[in-house]
Structure 1
Amino acid sequence: MNFPLSRLTLALSLVCFPVTVLAADPANKDDEEIERVSVTGQVLNSPGQLIMDPKAARQPLPAHDGADYLKTIPGFSVTRKGGADGDALFRGMAGSRLGILVDGENILGGCNSRMDAPTAYIYPELHDSMTVIKGPQSVIHGAGHSAAVILFERTTEAFEQPGYRAHLSATGASFGRHDELADLQLGQEKGYLLLSGSNSQSDNYKDGDGTEVHSRYQRYSGNIALGWTPDSDTKVELSASRSDGEAAYADRGMDGSRFLRDSLNFRVEKNAIKPWLEQIKFHAFDNEVDHLMDDQQLRKPGMMGYANPLRETKGGRFSAVLVPASAHKLTLGVDHQESAHSSRSAPVSAIYTNWLDDAEVSQFGVFTEWRYAASLQNTLVAGYRWDHWKAEDQRLVIKGMMSSVPNPTALDRRTNDLHSGFARFEHKLAEQPASWYLGLGTTSRFPDYWELIAKEAAGSISAFDSLQSEITTQLDTGYLFKNDKTQWSVSAFYNQIDDFILVDYSSRMKSNGFVRNIDASSYGAELGIQHKLTAHWQTEATLAYVRGENDTDGTALAQLSPLELKLGLSYAQDNWSVGSLVRVVDAQNRFDLNKGNIVGKDLGATPGFAVYSLNASWRPMASLLFTAGVDNLFDRTYAEFVSCASGNGMGGAIPGYVQTGRVNEPGRTAWLKLQWNWQGDF
């Protein structure tokens, strides 16, 4: 439902929200012990980096996957496809421009249309930290990640004696949603065993008008790891994981009825080896994604049948950290990855064709990163990497709308040697608890599978031979400040992108989109601030802005979200807190109709909106935490600018559902979350 409230009115209501019923502040309570729900993201922890706790309660309540967690961070946006499995963008950049790693493992989806984005296979609360590195300001986490690198990581503290640690979590919410999660660690001085699992499911949600959205889902995962720690500086670990599920989609003609992922990892880490050799690490991984799409199981059966893509990705990494002198630290390493994609299909009878291979892509890289502490105030950081890419187009024919035609690039191979690097200066102010940084980086990005294989070229049904690698040159700068009461940071960037890979959906003959290289540029900034008004009152705010140009066509660069402001106010005392959040998003009138990237396209202008939410937390004992909230309190009907188009993907409605243009966001959502942490000795 829509209320006649302006964005200014809602913003002011945040400050004026009545809290007079709250008890008085006890002067002797340490505010750092009080739990607050994270509502605006957070400020930078270090130059260009954010480090967050994915186990902490967040508002709005994110879906049980990686993309919705990222959406709570300034600068990130997510394409809405249904109830889960959105595709993340940072500063308007998506796909392989974002490097998303799970404990160093790269997981790629199988669907040609990004039904299963990499974040669909990530369950953040099973990890201990989530790090965002903005811009091309590191070379040690893989190739081509020009926009950002996102690291989901687990940390296992050594057991000094036999014991256990456990984390349990349960969430209940509107629209029949419930999540359950368990994370158990058993160990002793010489080794450990990790066991974890999760389950999440939800019915269809309704938007603010009460319109039901085809969006139900269920996901589950299980993980096991066995570690050997012969001494305090050595760790050897073997781990395996499996996840699966199903999800209904509001933006296309098929749903996802299988998201089966199997993963195997082997890691070795050795620290404090020599005075000049601080650390060595080795990691090898192998994962397989078996994804099934159909229009038979989660909606009224249609005539499209089944599509079953399969992807295997395997790779490894070796690195060493050297200390050639007391002020110098040098990281050297190599990494390798190869990915093979195949698929099969079936009519409604579920009689499948044979598996057909369509592509193999491999990469081998060498990298080095150097950090020099020139003085107590000044630090220099620089890095370089070289990558050798190989790709083979294994498609003999390419399927069109009505028939298959011979592939003009069948069995063609291409290789590219690409270079990336950066340099950054960091300065700590002597008179203030503050620092600033300035960095310049360049990244060469090889076209990913969804650009090279899944899309056509402007003048051919295959883009394999004609698409050029993308080169981003970017300037990053920022300022960080932190004292006892106030913490704030700002990060800004400007880039020029040569041979930017644009996906053009404007041709009726190429409805799935065709790719072409253009020149582009973009700039923007993110601002975050947290300020303690008193011992127990805290206010926080974030602001995110990005603007870009398609310099070749003289138009706006597509898929850039509008100006966004978040304001939070919270009160915490003893073992409880209450808080509020208003999210204000400006109208977006700068767009390039039917242009975009592999995750979506511009659908036109969007109006501004404001969403108001409330939250509370209570910790009755050290090991137990309750958090609760109401998201979209006024039940507003709205859609994000980067949302996908509602319907069956062919211009019509999904049978039994109302077509709404864009896929609308959920209406009023109430939620309650319980977290229980405890540990002990055997």
Structure 2
Amino acid sequence: MNAYKRVASARACLAMAVACALYATSAAAQEKTNDNAQTQDQHTYFEHVVVTATPVSPLVFEVETKLPRQPMPASDGADYLKTVPGFNAIRNGGTNGDPVLRGMHGSRLNILTNEGNMPGGCPARMDNPLSYVSPENFDRLIVVKGPQTVQWGPGASAGTIRFDRLGQRMTEGGFEGNGHLMVGAFDRRDAAVDLRFGTPTAFVRTTLNQAESNDYEDGNGVAVPSAWKKWNADVSLGYTPNDDTVIQLNVGTGDGEAKYAGRGMDGRQFKREHVSVQARTQHLVGRLNGYEATLYYNRADHVMDNYSLRTPHPQSMMAMPMFANVDRTTLGGRAALTWALGQVELVTGADFSRSQHRNRSGSAAIAPEHLPWVEDARIDNTGVFVEGMWKFTGRSQLAFGARTDTARVHDLRAKTDGMMPRANPSFNQTRTADLQSGFLRFEHNLSPRLAVYAGLGHVERMPDYWEFFSASVGPVGSVNAFTALKPERTTQWDFGVAYRTPALQLWANGYLGRVHDYIQFTNLQMGMMIGARADNIDARIRGFEAGGSWRFAGHWKTEGSVAYAWGENRSQGRPLGQITPMEARGSIAYETQKWSASILGRGVRGQHRIAPGQGNVVGRDLEGSRGFSTWAINTSWHLNKQWLLSAGVDNVFNRLYSEHLNRTGSVDFGYPANPIRINEPGRTLWLKLTWR
């Protein structure tokens, strides 16, 4: 907490800088816009509030992250992903939820920011990768569902998530920019600015943001421990000698704190360091159409304790003031060549990552920086890939890809964790695996408006840091999880249909999968403590997502989506744990060039197909959950071509409800010993001013 207070004045200056930048740059932008007013058309206006993302191609969703969003604009990457049908998150408190897609969690989702990995360090994923992502600091979010791409890293059996911020050539000298200011219920405050200065040959881009919120209240007016604060600052230097080439150097840092109702500790520090170099050239003449390369360095330095943001409860499992400091440094890179070979478009390339994990812990009497770091793990991966598209007729095409990886994990724990540590039987041992992945997908246009596709994908995934090192014990009869867990093998069919006209868009995705050696966590009573066993099982998964939008009359538009996931533990003949319940969303909106208003409804079925005590490293099933429905409203008004004012109310009727995927409340905050889910926020008002 003291470390965070030392930068409080810096954060205040950051917020002031954002506000000043918005004012100064928008004034200049208005002057520039007035000069060109006669040549601009209706498309220069902002789009309206985003409620549901729609696919841009089979299984691919792309969202402009700077657009206003309902519910309240996101505090982290996992929150923003809930815009895409099929996504959910495991709530910890007010921020830093852990993302889940189709009931799949953890490194089954390959998460990239600026084309690099930013894994967190907490053994229980308190600082999951998306904890370090402020969505509006990026230009776009790209999601590929299922094992239907191989070019963005290993193990993406559930999907691939990319937050992208690679610059483009400035068409004119001067500046470009955007930003926002937001206020909301429970003392929510956001400020952000994204500015580019330069010429058509070179530019400097600065991205700043600061956000915070107090504890929210549920539908009964009961405060839920959930306060948080975050700030980020990033600078990019770009060289653009022509329209098709960009070379960019990125440097960034950030920090934050978060109170967690569902954890035994809070996060008092989420410090990140980022350096990367990116290069891209496209539209070359000849068979070699383009190339891209990335080299990156990411470091997460996370401190958690039970005394900075709470008072330890004498009846809790951790009655004494304690802290734990973990860090994870990742160095990686990627290079790819794009080929134009007649009817075949091809991408070939390679990537690598080298990750080091360290820890130190102690009591409140000593500061973390006074203790030495202890390295406990090294995780390496090297892969090569080929991915392409063969357009063999005017109406049909075949997407394909193949990948091979070599994964190595080195166990450097001299002793085991827990109240009574002992010598680690797998100390200094290395696990190595050669992993194969690939996919084949047929796409066909039945007509200019109607398209169908079907694809088969296979992914082999090495157990990640949390699966190897966080479990108390491994499979029955094993020394520990590190020595015994097997790589996961997922084989999955994905299929779907899309229908598009200027007024009507409909789409549906379905999937059927088998997962051999699925890694499952099970609660394990260990004396007075509850540990976890990590084990391999065989599983089946299936489900679907569907949605659409219809501009049915003039300015009127309706949107909707539904998502369903199902999982079975075939080894034990029971449901698979931590599967999201069926969910539907619908909205109706009135939109003009100047203003818009909409109503959004969300309904979630109760989930009674559960596996009590089983799930993943973050959450295990508690008991059956009740269904619920909520309503939200929003409106937006274009003050002029640069300024958009938007406002909304979430949970209009102040419903008391909780999500199925959840953490249990900590006794430190007065929650009972019997597991109780954390309730969602009650009625929430917000107001946002956006400039671009």
TM-score of the pair, normalised by structure 1: 0.92
How big is the shift at 1:236? 1.5
Does residue 442 (structure 1) correspond to residue 458 (structure 2)? The answer is yes
Instruction: Measure the CA separation in 2 of the matches of 1:571 and 1:551.
Output: 48
2:307 paired residue number: 296
In 2: Cα distance, 1:547 partner to 1:660 partner: 24
Q: Distance in 1 between matches of 2:159 and 2:538?
A: 20
Secondary structure of the 1:120 match is: helix
Residue in structure 2 matching 1:194, options 205, 210, 220 = 205
Within the candidate set 328, 340, 345, 2:356 is matched to 340
Distance 2:250 2:430 in 1: 35
Shift of 1:559: 0.7
Cα deviation 1:37-59 (Å, max 9, x = unaligned):
222x1322101111111111111
In the alignment, residue 347 of structure 2 is paired with which amino acid? Answer: T
Give the structure 2 partner of residue 311 of structure 1.
Answer: 328
TM-aligned CA deviation for residue 658 of structure 1: 11
Aligned equivalent of 2:520, options 491, 499, 502: 502
Q: Secondary structure at the match of 1:125?
A: helix
Tell me, in whole angstroms, the C-alpha distance in 2 between the residues paired with 1:155 and 1:144.
24
Deviation track 1:619-655 (CA, whole Å, cap 9, x = no partner) reads: 02011101100000111111100011111xxxx3425
The Cα of 1:499 is off from its aligned counterpart by 0.3
1: distance between equivalents of 2:235 and 2:149?
A: 30
RMSD: 1.8
How far the C-alpha of 1:332 sits from its partner, in A, is 0.5
Output the amino acid matched with 2:568: E
Q: Which stretch shows the higher mean deviation, 198-207 or 62-71? A: 62-71
CA contact (8 A) 2:47 2:67 kept: no
State yes or no: 1:321 paired with 2:332.
no
Tell me the alpha carbon deviations over residues 479-532 of structure 1, each in whole angstroms, 9 at most, x when there is no partner. 111102111100010000000000111434572311000000110000111011
- Going from structure 1 to structure 2, the CA distance change for 1:453 and 1:658 (only over 3 Å counts) comes to closer
* 2:428 pairs with 1:391: no
1:99 equivalent in alignment to 2:123: no
CA distance in 2 between counterparts of 1:145 and 1:660 reads 32
Where does residue 381 of structure 1 map in the other structure? 399
Query: Which region of structure 1 is more displaced relative to structure 2, 138-147 or 304-313?
Result: 304-313
In the alignment, which residue of structure 2 is the partner of 1:613? 632
Between the aligned partners of 1:190 and 1:35, the Cα distance in structure 2 is 30
Count of paired positions: 641
Deviates more, 1:53-62 or 1:226-235: 226-235
User: Match for 1:641: what amino acid?
Assistant: H
1:558-585 deviations in Å (ceiling 9; x for gaps): 1111111111011123411111011010
The verdict on how the C-alpha distance between 1:363 and 1:155 changes in structure 2, with shifts beyond 3 A counting, is closer
The verdict on how the C-alpha distance between 1:90 and 1:497 changes in structure 2, with shifts beyond 3 A counting, is same
In 2, are the aligned partners of 1:442 and 1:472 still within 8 Å (CA)? yes
Structure 2 distance, partners of 1:414, 1:658, is 39
Q: How does 1:465-476 map to 2 (within 5 A)?
A: 465-476=483-494
Give the one of 506, 509, 519 matched to 1:491: 509
Aligned ranges for residues 619-634 of structure 1 at < 5 Å?
Answer: 619-634=638-653
Tell whether 2:688 aligns with 1:676.
no
What is the one-letter code of the residue matched to 1:201? E
Q: Does the residue aligned with 1:141 lie in a helix, a strand or coil?
A: coil
8 Å CA contact 1:481, 1:489 repeated in 2:
yes
**Contact 1:183 1:194 survives alignment (8 Å):** yes
**Contact 1:253/1:654 (8 A) holds in 2:** no
The corresponding residue for 2:281 is: 270
Alignment of structure 1 residues 221-620 onto 2, 5 Å: 221-301=232-312, 303-325=320-342, 327-352=343-368, 353-400=371-418, 402-430=419-447, 432-455=448-471, 456-459=473-476, 460=478, 462-508=480-526, 511-620=530-639
CA contact (8 A) 1:165 1:185 kept: yes
Does the C-alpha gap of structure 1 residues 657 and 628 become closer, same or farther in structure 2, counting only changes over 3 Å?
farther
Q: Is the 8 A contact 2:311 2:668 kept in 1?
A: no
Deviation at 1:34, TM superposition (A): 7.4
| Mapped contact 1:570–1:580 kept (Cα < 8 A) | yes
1:78 deviates by 0.5
- Any conservation in 1 of the 2:45–2:641 contact (CA below 8 Å)? no
Tell me the equivalent position of 2:72.
Answer: 61
Output the CA distance in 1 between the equivalents of 2:210 and 2:674.
30
Larger displacement relative to structure 2 (272-281 or 608-617): 272-281
Q: CA deviation at 1:161?
A: 3.1
What is the CA-CA distance between 1:370 and the residue it aligns to?
1.8
Q: Work out the CA distance in 1 between the residues paired with 2:652 and 2:678.
A: 19
Cα distance change, pair 164–32 in 1 and its aligned pair in 2 (3 A)? closer
- Greater shift, 267-276 or 544-553, is seen at 267-276
Equivalent-residue separation in structure 1 for 2:46 and 2:175 (angstroms): 25
Q: Is the 8 A contact 2:46 2:641 kept in 1?
A: no
Please give the alpha-carbon distance, in whole angstroms, between the structure 2 residues aligned to 1:235 and 1:540.
37
Q: For 2:387, what is the secondary structure of its paired residue?
A: strand
Q: What code does the residue aligned with 2:309 have?
A: L
Give the aligned partner of residue 18 of structure 1: none
1:405 is aligned with what amino acid?
R
Determine the C-alpha separation between the residues in 1 that align with 2:531 and 2:649.
38
Contact 2:121–2:301 (CA under 8 A) maintained in structure 1: yes
State the Cα deviation string for residues 336-391 of structure 1 (Å, max 9, x = none): 00111010011120255421111001000010012111111000111000000111
Q: Which runs of 5 or more structure 2 residues have no equivalent in the other structure?
A: 1-40, 313-318
Question: Could you tell me how far 1:287 is from its partner in structure 2?
Answer: 0.9
Quick check: 1:167 aligned with 2:178? yes
Aligned to 1:210, which of 221, 224, 240? 221
CA contact (8 A) 2:665 2:671 kept: no
Over 3 Å counting, the alpha-carbon distance change for 1:30 and 1:287 in structure 2 is closer
**Shift of the alpha carbon at 1:305?**
1.2
* Distance change (3 Å), C-alpha of 1:35 and 1:189: closer
- Unaligned runs of at least 5 residues, structure 1: 1-28, 678-682
Using the alignment, how far apart are the partners of 1:583 and 1:381 within structure 2?
35
The yes-or-no answer on 1:37 pairing with 2:49 is yes
Q: CA deviation at 1:273?
A: 3.5
Deviation, 1:406, is 1.0
Q: Which residue of 2 aligns with 1:654?
A: 669
